[in-house]
Amino acid sequence: MADHWATSGVDLHLEPTGPGLRRGLTDALREAVRSGRLAPCTRLPSSRALAADLGIARNTVADAYADLVAEGWLTARQGSGTRVAERTVVPSAGTASDPHPRTPTRPAYDLRPGSPDLASFPRAQWLKAARRALTAAPSDALDYGGPSGRPELRAALAGYLSRARGVRADPERIVMCGGFAHGLKLLGTVLRARGARTVAVESYGLDVHRRILEASGLRTTPLPFDRLGTDPGELQDADAVLLTPAHQFPMGVPLHRDRRASVVDWARRTGGLVLEDDYDGEFRYDRQPVGALQGLDPDRVVYLGTASKSLAPGLRLAWMVLPTDLAKEVVTAKGGVDTCGVLDQLTLTEFLTSGAYDRHVRATRLRYRRRRDALVAAVAARAPEARITGIAAGLHVLLRLPPGTEQSVVEAGHWRGLALHGLTRYSNPAARTEPADALVVGYGTPPDHAWSGALDALCAVLPG
C-alpha cells in the first residue's frame, strides 16, 4: 500500500505494510504510538474518515482501532472518539544482562535545579492581566513592534528593576529578549563583532551558557573560586566577564563586597564589560536583598533578568539593561525586529503595573522559603553526614556529600524515580577547582503536594 495522509481530525501519516490490511494498519498505528509520534490523548480520525482517506473499508479501520484498544494503546469513549491512551506504558523486556527494571522515563520527583514550581504559575491573575491588556491595547499595538520591545513594558520594567533590584534602568537602555540564553547569544555576537576574543566565566555554571558564547567565536576562560566566591583577580586578559553576582549558580554565595568593587574597577580600567546574570534575584530569604552590580556602573555592566524563575521558563521573556551604545548594537544583532510576542509583553506590563507581579513574587518567596526550611531540617535530622550551604537565596541549595559518594547518590536517586544533579555537571572542566562531592538540589520544581514525598525520597538516598 502506498503512503497515505488521513486529513480528518488530525493529520496522520501512516505507512501500513505487511500482509493483510488490518494487520498492516494495526502495526503502523501501534508503531506511531510507541515511538511517540502520536502523543498521549491525541484524538484519532473517525474510522469512517480514516477509511475514506486510506481508501479501505471502514470495518478494517474499526477492527484495527478495536485491537489497539484491547492492547491498551488506544482508548475509545462514547462522545470523545478514539484517542491515544493517556499513559502508554511501554513494556520493556529485561534481558539476562539487564536484571534491573527500567526506571520510569519521567521521574516521580524532580529535584534538579532550574525550574520554579510550574503548578503555582498564577494562571488566573495572568489571564486577568492578559484580558485587560488586550482590551486596552490599540489596534496598532498588534503590528510589528520596535526591536527593543514594547515601550510600555520597558517603562514598567525600568520602574520595577530600579525599585526592587537597585538597577539604574532607563527604558531606552532596555532590550527585551527570549530568555537569558537569547540575550547572551545577542551579546556574544556583538562582543565578537567589536573584536572581543575572550570572556571570563565562573568555575561553576551552566555549560549551555559557555557553549552559547563559544558558538559566537569567543573563548571562555574560568575564574578561580574560593570561599569568598568567584575571584576576579585573573581577569586581566578578558574582554568581558559573565557572573552571577547576587547568587552564584550553583554554589549559592553572593560575590564578596570587595570583589564586586574590584570587578567594576577592572571594567573601568580596561574597557571590559561585565555581564550580570540576575537569574533569581527576586528570591532572597535571610538578609536584605543583594542589589544588582549594575547599580555600581551602568556603563560597564550589562544587567540580564528573566521571568524564568519568577513566573515560568516557557514564557521565554527576559530583559537586558545595556549601556546606550551597546543597546543599539544589540538591536542590530536582533535583526532589527522584535522577537517577543506582543500579547505576552502587554500582559507582563499589566502584571507589573497592577502589582500582581510583586504579589506573586512575595507569595512564592514565602512558599519556597518554607520548602527550604523543611529541606534543611530534614537533612539535618536524617542525613547528618550531608551539609547544606547556599541557603540564603534562590530555588536551590548545595548539599555537600562525603567524598566519593556523589555519583552513587545520583544513581540511587535514579533507581527510586528521583531526578538529582551532582555538582560535577556544573563544574567547568577547564577550571582548577578542588573536586567536591555535592548535589545541587532544586526545591522549586515539585508541586506542593509532592514536596514531602520528594524530601523523603531524597533523605532515603543520602548517606546516613
Ligand X SMILES: Cc1ncc(COP(=O)(O)O)c(C=O)c1O
- Positions that interact with ligand X (CB under 6 A): 114, 179-181, 206, 244, 249, 277, 279, 306, 308, 313, 318
Give the bridge partners for 273, in sequence order.
240
Measured from the CB of residue 114, what is the shortest distance to ligand X in angstroms? 4
Q: Find out whether 252 and 279 touch, Cβ atoms under 8 Å.
A: no
Using only C-alpha atoms, what is the Rg of the chain?
26
Q: List residues bridging with 75 in a β-sheet.
A: 83
Q: How far is the CB of 250 from ligand X (least distance, A)?
A: 8
Minimum CB–partner distance for residue 187 and ligand X (Å): 13
For residue 38, give the DSSP letter.
Answer: S
Give the end-to-end CA distance of the chain in Å, rounded to a whole number.
Answer: 62
Interatomic CA distance for residues 291 and 44, integer angstroms: 54
Alpha carbon distance 207, 209 (integer Å): 5
**Strand 273-277 vs strand 81-84: parallel, antiparallel, or unpaired?**
unpaired
The nearest distance, CB 339 to ligand X, in angstroms, is 13
| Closest approach of ligand X to the CB of residue 241, in Å | 14
C-alpha to C-alpha distance for 420 and 396, rounded to whole angstroms? 12
Q: How far is the CB of 208 from ligand X (least distance, A)?
A: 9
CB of 397 to ligand X, least distance (A): 14
Q: Which three cell numbers stand for residue 41?
A: 490523548
Tell me how far, at minimum, the Cβ of 155 lies from ligand X, in Å: 21
Q: For residues 392-421, b (16+ Cβ closer than 10 Å) or e, as one string?
A: bbbbbbbbbbeeebbeebbebbeebebbbb
Which three cell numbers mark 415?
Answer: 533507581
- Minimum CB distance to ligand X smaller for 179 or for 254: 179
Residue 33 or 169: the one with the smaller Cβ distance to ligand X is 169
- Shortest distance, CB of residue 315 to ligand X, whole angstroms? 9
Give strand ranges (E) for 287-364: 301-306, 318-321
Q: 3-state SS of the chain: helix, strand, coil percent to 5?
A: 45, 15, 40
Task: Please state whether 15 falls in left (phi above 0), alpha (psi between -120 and 50) or beta.
Answer: beta
Q: Per the structure block, which three cell numbers stand in for 249?
A: 549558580
Distance of closest approach, residue 108 Cβ to ligand X, in angstroms = 22
Nearer to ligand X, 21 or 391 (CB): 391
The CB-nearest residue to ligand X is: 179
Closest distance of CB 425 from ligand X, Å:
13
Q: How far apart are alpha carbons 129 and 455 in whole angstroms?
A: 35
Nearer to ligand X, 168 or 210 (CB): 210
Q: Which residue's CB is nearer to ligand X, number 179 or number 232?
A: 179
User: Which one, 232 or 281, has the nearer CB to ligand X?
Assistant: 281
Cα 367 to Cα 271, 334, 451, distances in angstroms? 42, 37, 11
Give 170-230 as a DSSP string. -GGGEEEESSHHHHHHHHHHHHHHTT--EEEEESBS-HHHHHHHHHTT-EEEEEPEETTEE
| Amino acid making up residue 244 | T
User: b/e string for 221-253 if b means 16 or more Cβ within 10 A?
Assistant: bbbebeeebbbbeebeebbbbbbbbbbbbbbbb
Query: Helix (H, G, I), strand (E, B), or coil: what is residue 447?
Result: coil
Given the complex with ligand X, which of 45 and 254 has the nearer CB atom?
A: 254
